Amino acid sequence: MNKTKIGIGFIGFGTVGQGVWKHLQSQREELEERLGVSISFPKIAVRDLKRERGVSVPAETLTLDPMEVVNHPDVNIVCELMGGTTKAKDYTLAALKLGKVVVSANKALIYEFGREIFDAVKEFGGHYYFEASVAGGIPIIKTLREGLVANRFASIAGIINGTCNYILSRMEAEGKSYEEILQDAKKLGYVEADDRLDLDGWDAFHKAVILAFLAHGKWVSERDALVEGIRNVTLEDMHRARDFGYRIKLLGMIRRNFKTGALSLGVYPALIPLDKTLARVDGVYNAIKLSGDVAGTTILIGRGAGQDATSSAVISDIVDAMIGIRDNAHKFLTPSDIDACYRLGESARMATMDEIRSKFYLRISILDEPGTLVGFYSVLAKHGVSVARVVTYEHQGERRGTITLATYPTSEAIMERVVDELKQLPEILTAPLVLRIYEPTRE
């Protein structure tokens, strides 16, 4: 039997690139036999030819010029694993314009230029696969597109940043600061080249935007979303949250009201009830809870970052791409697929801040003197915010106290006004910390 020849090129050969190479090498014969293809690795682009790598590749394969990968006549699949958005976009579009298949793990790129990339797919006939862009080894893109395609999702809630979950879990278990644990996360290959993307919630936001596009057909922009990272979460908050019956996790939340069309997207540290599955997902593990109207609740849990988990997702895309090339028929990201996504979005609009509701957790540092609580409670009462639980405690030798409380449900708009007014009170010593409390649908 004549085997289809497939050339796989890499742009970027760091944590993920080397992982993909390593596992493809060890599975090569099996894949070739199973798929009836013959695999080669003609070119690999890197930034530094002298860098020591965990795997060895033939020296003549390496290049400093990613366009050599794109233009190489034997490369049909370009794995864009370099990260960043400017150059990565140029190489991606160049490969798509040649009708090649691009496999990517680059969620920042898809957030920023997803529309252009998909337009290029439609115009030039290339293909774009991006399973590894969301939740590392969890096959969430395939799940949305294939396994749960019959569903509309009123809610998708996920722990979708491995670095933050690793940091928060270890902070709670070991009492260390996030800066200390971040160094370990870097050594383990979990952290983005720019660690602010992880710590400030942007990486999880990019992933949530991809999920929202696939589920609801809308590209959500930064200005339409709530995005907060984990820097302000203290060990003290974790202990208070536990006293209230919760754990704190960085959560990505996509909600859709199918009656009004309202779609909301947020990424923030949230208090999750202790008895819920999401509260028990620790370390680098991610979890995504999908509430579908046909299948009901589905929860996927797996490693969300790191070399092996991410390589697993990239290789699943490479295998799909190889089958697509072999059969001259790609399943993913065909023009009709893209159009179908956009059609989904026609009935969606972004929710207003009055429409987005939840319970809230507040931490307030307040002057410890008779009567100072009166002003505080008056602000809550004025805005109709009802308190479900409250704990006040003193700090030995200091004239300040801390109040932590959990509210009943109210809107984002109201909570913003409450916080603005609290900040004006002279007895409130620092800006209040506000976290959302996750209210799960039935599991």
| Smaller CB separation from ligand HSE, 136 or 269 | 136
Residue 64: CB minimum distance to ligand NAP, A: 7
Terminus-to-terminus CA distance in the chain, angstroms? Answer: 50
Residue type, 278: L
| Smaller CB separation from ligand NAP, 199 or 380 | 199
| Smaller CB separation from ligand HSE, 114 or 324 | 114
Question: Is 13 near ligand NAP (CB under 6 A)?
Answer: yes
Question: Is 162 near ligand HSE (CB under 6 A)?
Answer: yes
DSSP letter (8 states) at residue 388: E
Cβ-proximal residues to 221 (8 Å cutoff; 6+ apart), any chain: none
What is d(CA 415, CA 289) in angstroms, rounded to the nearest whole number?
Answer: 26
Question: Is 198 near ligand HSE (CB under 6 A)?
Answer: yes
Number of residues that bind ligand HSE (CB under 6 A): 11
Pick the stretch among 2-10, 30-38, 158-166, 358-366 that binds ligand HSE (CB under 6 A). 158-166
Structure tokens at 276: 């819920």
- CB burial class (10 A; 0-12, 13-18, 19+) of residue 29? exposed
For 103, list phi and psi in degrees, rounded to 5. -115, 130
Alpha carbon separation from 244 to 223, 241, 437 (Å, rounded): 32, 5, 11
- Binders in 281-320 for ligand NAP, by CB under 6 A: 305-306, 310
What is d(CA 81, CA 46) in angstroms, rounded to the nearest whole number?
Answer: 10
The one catalytic residue in 207, 218, 289, 359 is: 207
Pick the stretch among 33-41, 170-178, 190-198, 357-365 that binds ligand HSE (CB under 6 A). 190-198
Question: Is 191 near ligand HSE (CB under 6 A)?
Answer: yes
For 411, list phi and psi in degrees, rounded to 5. -95, 165
Residue 23: CB minimum distance to ligand HSE, A: 17
Among 9, 126, 137, 189, binds ligand NAP (CB under 6 A): 189
Which of ligand NAP, ligand HSE, none interacts with 106 (beta carbon under 5 to 8 A by kind)? ligand NAP
With residues binned 3-state (H G I as helix, E B as strand, rest as coil), the percentages for the chain, rounded to 5, are 40, 25, 35
Helix (H) or strand (E) holding 11: strand 4-11
218 labelled catalytic: no
- Minimal CA–CA distance to 437: which of 154, 160, 240, 223? 240
Positions of E strands within 257-396: 262-273, 285-292, 296-303, 349-350, 357-367, 387-394
One character per residue 295-334, x = contact with ligand HSE (rule: CB under 6 A): ---------xx-----------------------------
Structure tokens at 296: 């009901």
Which of ligand NAP, ligand HSE, none interacts with 161 (beta carbon under 5 to 8 A by kind)? ligand HSE
Residue 162: CB minimum distance to ligand HSE, A: 4
Contact yes or no for 251/263 (Cβ under 8 A): no
One character per residue 127-156, x = contact with ligand HSE (rule: CB under 6 A): ---------x--------------------
- Binders in 71-90 for ligand NAP, by CB under 6 A: 81-83, 87
What number of other Cβ atoms are within 10 A of residue 263's Cβ? 23
Which residues does the annotation mark as catalytic? Answer: 207
Which residues sit at the interface with ligand HSE, rule CB under 6 A? 136, 161-163, 190-192, 198, 203, 304-305
Which residues sit at the interface with ligand NAP, rule CB under 6 A? 12-17, 45-48, 51, 66, 81-83, 87, 105-106, 132, 136, 189-190, 192-193, 305-306, 310
